[in-house]
Amino acid sequence: MKHTPSTPRTISQPNDLAILRQAHQEWTHSTDPFTRLTRRLSSSLSLETLTGILAEELGNVIPFDSLTYRHQIADRDFIYATGLGGPHSCEYRLNLEGVNYGILTLKRRKAFSEDELEGIEMVISAAILPLRNACHYMTIEQAALTDALTSVPNKRAMDEQLQRASMLANRHGGDYSLILCDLDRFKNVNDQHGHVVGDHLLRLTAEALEGAVRNSDTVYRFGGEEFAVLLPHTGEREAKAVAERIRTAVAAISIDCGDSKLSVTISCGVARYLPDEGADQWKTRADQALYIAKREGRNCTRVFAGIR
């Protein structure tokens, strides 16, 4: 039997390890601005956290009155802002290897000197790679929470936000409401017109729902033809009014199918969050209200009977 000789391992000498430990100690405890900045930026992949670190470290060496960072990630706007601003500003487009990673704007009451502008650019050059990594991470994270067909958040995103809304409602009070919506007789659409038309209808439905709610509300697709809307700071009466707007918006959808026009209706179930209940209980009550709407003829809104 032929044996292939293995590559011998090099054993580190004691003084090599001592140098490594010393370098690690110096890197960990160094107070020079660049080492401290890069050390802190290596601690997270959260874009919000990293932007906050950048603002704090930059402010330690070059005073400013406000900092704003803007970037569009996966069709969603990310904005970080701190401070109140001023009449003088400088703006930087963060580009790396031909790709844009947002715009950073600094403002203050006093004009920035050339030396300060040079210092800002040096700090940005040290921060742009971690910011790029955080942008990539957010892109992947958002893709995992987004419905590929309609581009609205998916069931996973909805479940996470219902848990968070439940926690906030219990901790701080305030009304939260949930609307579950289901397109009526959607299976007939696929059977009669095909899945291409059915998918187009789902996209139009998502757009109609987003157009019928406030910016603070969030639309989710959590099933085939099932959608949900989470409404913060919204009681039962207001949520029911939103559900009625949704019904009107969906009823206005019209798809040209050649010889005929396709239109659909939607049924809605509403439930306001009750103190100390779990997110699953909340969702179950909204689903029960939706079931009643379906049972009582479809194309209507029903509110869970226990909310008063």
Structural domain ending residue among the three candidates 144, 174, 208:
144
Residue 10 is assigned to a structural domain of this protein: no
Residue 200 is assigned to a structural domain of this protein: yes
**Cα(284)–Cα(297) distance, rounded to whole angstroms?**
20
Q: Determine the Cα angle at 67 with ends 65 and 73, to 5°.
A: 170
- Going by C-alpha positions, the residue among 277, 286, 280 that lies closest to residue 305 is 286
Report the catalytic residues: 225
Residue 253 is assigned to a structural domain of this protein: yes
Structural domain ending residue among the three candidates 88, 118, 144:
144
Listed in order, strand segments (DSSP E) in 109-217 are 176-183
**Number of compact structural domains in the chain:** 2
CATH code: domain of residue 286: 3.30.70.270
**Cα(11)–Cα(14) distance, rounded to whole angstroms?**
9
Task: Say if residues 226 and 184 touch (Cβ distance below 8 Å).
Answer: no
**Cα(123)–Cα(125) distance, rounded to whole angstroms?**
5
Structural domain ending residue among the three candidates 144, 169, 189:
144
| Structure-token pair, residue 261 | 């026009």
pLDDT of residue 74: 77
Residue 3 is assigned to a structural domain of this protein: no
The answer on 49 and 189 residing in a single domain is no
The answer on 284 and 191 residing in a single domain is yes
The answer on 132 and 162 residing in a single domain is no
- Going by C-alpha positions, the residue among 184, 203, 162, 211 that lies closest to residue 268 is 184
The answer on 57 and 27 residing in a single domain is yes
The answer on 218 and 140 residing in a single domain is no
Residue 5 is assigned to a structural domain of this protein: no
The answer on 120 and 228 residing in a single domain is no
Residue 77 is assigned to a structural domain of this protein: yes
pLDDT of residue 257: 87
Residue 63 is assigned to a structural domain of this protein: yes
Range of the domain at 181: 155-303
pTM equals 0.73
pLDDT of residue 75: 73
The answer on 204 and 102 residing in a single domain is no
The answer on 299 and 161 residing in a single domain is yes
The answer on 159 and 131 residing in a single domain is no
The answer on 33 and 89 residing in a single domain is yes
Place of tokens 């969702």: 283
In sequence order, the 6+-apart residues with CB closer than 8 A to the CB of 249 are 208, 209, 211, 212
The answer on 161 and 293 residing in a single domain is yes
Residue 125 is assigned to a structural domain of this protein: yes
CATH code: domain of residue 32: 3.30.450.40
Could you list the pLDDT tens digit for every one of the 308 residues in the chain? 455 555 555 555 667 888 888 888 888 888 888 999 999 999 999 999 999 999 999 999 999 999 999 999 977 899 999 999 899 999 999 999 999 999 999 999 999 999 999 999 999 999 999 999 999 999 999 899 999 999 999 999 999 999 999 999 988 888 999 999 999 999 999 999 999 999 999 999 999 999 999 999 999 999 999 999 999 999 999 999 999 999 999 999 999 988 888 999 999 999 999 998 999 999 999 999 999 999 999 999 999 975 44
